[in-house]
Amino acid sequence: MAEKEIVIYGNPVLREVSEPVDEINQEVKDLVSEMAGTLKKAKGLGLSAVQVGVLKRVFIVDLSAVDINETLRVFINPEILETNGEVEIEEGCLSFPGVYQKIVRPEKVKLRATDLNGQVFEMEAASFIARAALHENDHLEGKLFIDYFSSMAKSLIKGKLRKLKAAC
């Protein structure tokens, strides 16, 4: 399985808004395949196209490492339709190696997206899948999980962020 390089914090592409996918062609399928390989190698749970330097509205979530009933899920041109509840859980991000922080996100999400076969679907999710989908969807909007950190939490990781930026 081919892989791509994960974009690390400090790269300005992470703050850009991704463009919609116009057509699900071989290029998009290859991108998803490369993202899946990248995610597996990184041992992550989710990955957006922007995290591999591609400004397209695509993200994947694979929770099979934490739930044997889960498989790779592909979300193309996702739209968050509604959210409910609120829960605080520790979160990390492949673009921020070694940075973890408890953040508050909605507990449940309803979203609409297109799969690799071009089929539009709606999904209601809670728990890890909701958190992962919201996290990855934020990436498509140029929003990062550090944007949810309190000012105190940001000041505590300032040195780590500076090192990540310098390595970029």
The Cα 105–Cα 156 span in angstroms is 21
Report pLDDT for 147: 96
In the numeric block, the tokens 């300032």 are attached to: 158
Q: In sequence order, which residues have a C-beta less than 8 Å from that of residue 133 and are 6 or more positions away?
A: 46, 59, 61, 75, 78, 109, 111, 125
Residue for token pair 């507990």: 107
Output the pLDDT for position 68.
Answer: 79
Q: Is 136 annotated as catalytic? A: yes
User: What integer pLDDT is reported at residue 1 of this predicted model?
Assistant: 61
Supply the pLDDT for residue 66: 75
CATH homologous superfamily of 12-167: Peptide deformylase (3.90.45.10)
Q: Is 75 in contact with 136 (CB distance < 8 Å)?
A: yes
Instruction: List all residues 6 or more positions away from 151 whose beta carbon is below 8 Å from its beta carbon.
Output: none
What's the pLDDT score for residue 161? 87
Mean pLDDT by 10 residues, the chain (168 residues): 88 97 97 96 95 98 82 96 96 95 96 97 94 97 95 88 83
Per-residue pLDDT tens digits for 86-105 = 999 999 999 999 999 999 99
Per-domain residue ranges of the chain: 12-167
The reported pLDDT for the residue numbered 158 is 87
The catalytic position among 16, 19, 88, 136 is 136
Contacts of 118 (CB under 8 A, 6+ apart): 24
